[in-house]
Each structure stands twice: as structure tokens, then as C-alpha cells.
Structure 1
Amino acid sequence: MPSSPFTPPAVRTIGLMRPMAWLALAWRDMARAGWSSFAHGIALAVLGAAIVAMAHHRFWLLAGALSGFLVVAPVLATSLYALSRALERKETADWSVVFKTWLNWQNSHFNKWGNDYWCMVQFGALLALAATGWVLTSAALITLLAPVPINTPLEFVHHVVLAPNSWLFELWLALGGVLAAPLFASSVVSMPLLLDRRISLWQAVLTSWRTVLANPVPMAFWAALIMIFTLLGLGSLLLGLIPVIPMLGHASWHAYRDLVDASALPAREAYSEPYQPRDKH
């Protein structure tokens, strides 16, 4: 028997202010999950601090590295989605959920690039590649076009952000936006969907784009909120990332649940045996 054709999940439309409800639900999840949630923010703040330490006197690299680090945040937040899913199912949301989310694939996935579970890591690899490309592009742009060598944050502000008769900062932001917009559209619901349902990588990305196209204004508002909270986290000597990262991760799960009706797709049970596709003959 041939396998049934893929039916795309339904995409819902939402009101402009609905992202605020996702943030409120995220705080509830953070309070219920406790340290297993906040530890994600601590880990990423430490990672950000390591990036700052390594590139402290090379701000031309630091600017791209920190923004590139945020590109892969949807993948790093995978276990936050799993915690919110466990809470939604009235299951225990603790460290066991975090560890099993990251380590379960090692149990019996031999063909790593062929198995459907590995598509989440494939997506992470693509985001990491995009982040690396942005780091190199950002570094090359600032190094080649800045009037003087840029080694510190103050030099970046003085010679790039506030430089008179220069469009370097605007060009840098524009290039960042060109990268960020399609990445946001590709990832806004992809990772929660891949975690929750048995769906291919490209089907998940297509669903994410359909979600953005169906809700352009609310999704632009959601993207602005993500940017604002992220900048607040970075601007507070990275300490603000401790609550911001889990908040945005849990909120992204609720965004997925509001925007996509994936009930017709087979569930990807949290810690089940590997999925065996049906015989096509």
C-alpha cells in the first residue's frame, strides 16, 4: 500500500496582542519548572560570557559572534519546549525531561541522518552554518569599512554607530535584517513542531513560513518582543539572559500551540522507540 500523502497542519490566525499572552504563560511555566527552566538561562549567559571573554579586544568579531549565537537559540531551547509540553500534559517537568530530551536519541538511532528524529539536529546544523556566515560577514564588513580598527565596544559606538557621514552601521543592521527575517520565518514554530510531531524538516520549515505569512503583523510584533528582551538581556552584562532565555523558550512553545493545529500528524512521543515508517509497497 502506498503511504498516504502529507497533509500540512492547519495554521491559525491570531490577534495582534496574543504574543503578550505567550509571555504570561511562559512565566507560569518557569515558576512551575523551577531551576530546570532557569538553568537554561544560566548556561547561555555563561556561554555568552565566554564569547565576550574570547573576543573582548576584537569587537568586530564580538558583535557578529553574539548575534550569531542568538541565531541558534531556537535549537538550544529545545528542552524548554519539552518542559512546557510536559506541563501541558500534566506530567512532571524536571531535570529528567531535560536530560532525556537531549540524550534519548543516543539510545538506538544508528542512521543519524536518515532517522526522522535527527531532523532537529539537521536544523540546528543549518542554523549554526547561518550563524557562522553572519559572524564572518559582520567581521569582514566592520574590519574593511570602519575608518579605524574596532577593538572595543566604545570604539564600535564611536566609529560605527555614531560616525558622522557614514552608513556603515545602517548597512550592518540591514545585512543582519536580511539574514534574520528568513531565519525567523523558518524557525518561529519549526523546533517545537519537530519536537512534538513526526514531520520532516522541510515540512516543518514550510509550516513556519505559512504561519508567518498568515499572521504578518502579530509575528512582526513577536519578533520585535524577542529582539527587545534579547537586547535587554545582553545589555545587562548578560545577567538578564538568565530569565529572558527560559521566558522566550517557553513562550515559543505556546506560540506554536496557538498558531499550528498539528493534531492530525502522528505524535512524537517524548522518549519512545525510534519511529519506523510504514512500508511503501
Structure 2
Amino acid sequence: MNEQTTITGVDKPAEFRPLPKVRQITWDDITRAFRAGLQDFHTAPVYGLTFGAFFAFGGLFVVLCASAFGMSYLSYPLAAGFALIGPFACVGLYEVSRRLQTGERITWSSLLATMWAQKGRELAWMAFVVLFVMIMWMYQVRLLLALFMGFQSFASLDSFMDKVLSTGDGWMFLIVGHFVGAALSLILFSLTVISFPLLLEEDRDFITAMITSVRAVLTSPVPMIGWGLVVTVSLVIAIMPFFTGLIFALPILGHTTWHLYKACVVSEGEAQ
């Protein structure tokens, strides 16, 4: 057989796509993103308030379920863990900001269709990553409870807090628990702060999205981690009044994150 014979029916290798380019940002970029997020919320408040209210109701429902099953002492870690799924809950808000930026018409049908379409895309895998971290957080809470508090149950949240705040073991549980929670939050923030909006806008795999997100944090560590602290403090304050603060905090943070993503990452259209 001639060595020059062409073999047909063999798929061509997939075209190589370089990683998205990441820009270095400053506090000024954070400020501009926040202002743009506030403007998006002001322009389309109904969507932001609806997503915020739905998320707030979900958090309250989780905590009430824990109380109903006699596990009210898990209310605080459950509330903290529930806040971890914020990036996924903001997908609809990212789409609102994207449409406002491109001048596309915003309707509930178009938003819900876009969100529903993500179930078969890479964004669904990112949701699994977030869920896995939340499960790890709750596992660590139970492990730390066993280590510092023993295998005991608490009749109410008040009795649990009394035990935590009045004993040395309780204080050690709080200190170590918050340290572990901060570490998990930093890891999840680094993996998701850019990945969710990137996957919504571009056809990328979730591994590439997570790598890009981590690169964005490493490229601008001070402003990015500073923004992560702002998000954390805002969510803590918003959760305290029975999650009602999330109605306003979630949409503002979500819209801001979209504009922060646009400041950090050079899209394929811009690169060309």
C-alpha cells in the first residue's frame, strides 16, 4: 500500500483553545464593578429582588428544617454553608447583567430558558463542585463537634450556644471551626469567583473555568481576596435578620461579580 494513502473516517483532533487571558486589576476596578452592579440592580430591580427573595427563603427553609428535626444547633453552620452556594444562585443575575451590557431584551422566559439550558452544560459540573464543598463543610462541622463537644445532643440552639460560649472546649470548637470554614471559603471563592460567569458567557469546560478563576485570584490577590472578604461580611450581615438581608445583598453582589469578571478576563471576542 502506498504510504501516501489517506485514511478516511478518522476524526480530526479538536482545535486547541488557549486559556482565557487574565488581566491584573486594582481596587479601582472593584469600585467600578460595584457601581456597575448597583446600576444593574437599579435598572432591573424586579429580577434582582425575586432571585434574592428566593435565595433568602431557601436559607430560612434549610434552617427551619434543621430545627424541626431537632438539630437546631446546626443552624449557624447550615446558614454559613448555605451561603457557599451563592455563586450558583447568582447565575440568573449574571445573565441579567450580560443582557444589560449587550443591549439584549430581558424577559422572564429568556432568563429561565438560559438557566434551564445550563443543566446540560459545564456549569452543572461547577454546581456539583459547590455542593461537594458544602458537604465537606458540614462533615467537618460534625467531626469538630465530636472532637471538642463529644457525642452529645442539644435540646435547643440556646443550650448549644451556652455550651459553646461558656466552656474551653466550646471556644476551641469556634476557633478551629471558623479557621476551617475560612480555608474552605477561600478555596471555593478562588474556584468560582470567575468560573460561573465565564461558563455562562463562553463554551468552556469547567476545569478551564476553575483554572482561570484561580489565575485571576493569583494575578490580583489583594483586590480579589479583599472582594471575597466584602462578600463574606455582606452575606453574614444579610443572613442575621432571618436571611431577609439577602433579598438586597444577593443581587448587588451577583451583578457586581459579573462586572468584576469582565474586568478580570479577556473574552474570546475581545482577544480577536
TM-score when scaled to structure 2?
Answer: 0.86
Structure 1 counterpart of 2:80: 67
Match for residue 27 of structure 1 among 38, 44, 53: 38
Structure 2 counterpart of 1:181: 186
Match for residue 107 of structure 2 among 94, 117, 123: 94
Match for residue 89 of structure 2 among 63, 69, 76: 76
Q: Identify if the C-alpha distance between structure 1 residues 215 and 204 changes in structure 2 by more than 3 Å, giving closer, same or farther.
A: same
Q: Identify if the C-alpha distance between structure 1 residues 151 and 67 changes in structure 2 by more than 3 Å, giving closer, same or farther.
A: farther
TM superposition shift of 1:74 = 0.9
TM superposition shift of 1:161 = 4.7
| Paired residue total | 257
Structure 1 counterpart of 2:163: 159
What amino acid maps onto 1:158 in structure 2?
A: D
Match for residue 58 of structure 2 among 42, 47, 50: 47
Q: CA RMSD in A?
A: 2.3
Q: Identify if the C-alpha distance between structure 1 residues 27 and 124 changes in structure 2 by more than 3 Å, giving closer, same or farther.
A: same
Q: Which runs of 5+ in 1 are unaligned?
A: 107-111, 113-117, 267-281
More helix by share: 2
Q: Identify if the C-alpha distance between structure 1 residues 6 and 136 changes in structure 2 by more than 3 Å, giving closer, same or farther.
A: same
| Structure 2: distance between partners of 1:170 and 1:206 | 31
Structure with bigger gyration radius: 2
What amino acid maps onto 1:69 in structure 2?
A: F
| Structure 1: distance between partners of 2:109 and 2:123 | 20
TM superposition shift of 1:15 = 1.3
Q: Does the 8 A contact of 1:199 with 1:265 survive in 2?
A: no
Q: Does the 8 A contact of 2:56 with 2:243 survive in 1?
A: yes
| Structure 1: distance between partners of 2:155 and 2:186 | 28
Q: Does 1:246 align with 2:246?
A: no
Q: Does the 8 A contact of 1:9 with 1:262 survive in 2?
A: yes
Q: Does 1:192 align with 2:214?
A: no
Q: Identify if the C-alpha distance between structure 1 residues 21 and 143 changes in structure 2 by more than 3 Å, giving closer, same or farther.
A: farther
Structure 1 counterpart of 2:71: 58
What amino acid maps onto 2:90 in structure 1?
A: A
Structure 1 counterpart of 2:262: 257
Write out aligned runs for 1:132-147 (5 A).
Answer: 132-146=135-149
| Structure 2: distance between partners of 1:127 and 1:160 | 28
TM superposition shift of 1:167 = 1.6
Q: Does the 8 A contact of 2:59 with 2:243 survive in 1?
A: yes
Q: Identify if the C-alpha distance between structure 1 residues 151 and 119 changes in structure 2 by more than 3 Å, giving closer, same or farther.
A: farther
Structure 1 counterpart of 2:7: none
| Structure 2: distance between partners of 1:93 and 1:191 | 20
| Structure 2: distance between partners of 1:245 and 1:154 | 29
TM-score when scaled to structure 1?
Answer: 0.83
Q: Identify if the C-alpha distance between structure 1 residues 221 and 161 changes in structure 2 by more than 3 Å, giving closer, same or farther.
A: farther
Q: Does 1:13 align with 2:24?
A: yes
| Structure 1: distance between partners of 2:64 and 2:54 | 15
Match for residue 129 of structure 2 among 126, 130, 137: 126
| Structure 2: distance between partners of 1:138 and 1:45 | 22
Q: Does the 8 A contact of 1:42 with 1:241 survive in 2?
A: yes
Q: Which runs of 5+ in 2 are unaligned?
A: 1-11
| Structure 1: distance between partners of 2:181 and 2:81 | 10
| Structure 2: distance between partners of 1:15 and 1:86 | 25
| Structure 2: distance between partners of 1:134 and 1:64 | 8
Q: Does the 8 A contact of 1:60 with 1:143 survive in 2?
A: no
Structure 1 counterpart of 2:15: 4
Structure 1 counterpart of 2:234: 229
| Structure 1: distance between partners of 2:55 and 2:225 | 25
Identity of aligned residues (%): 24
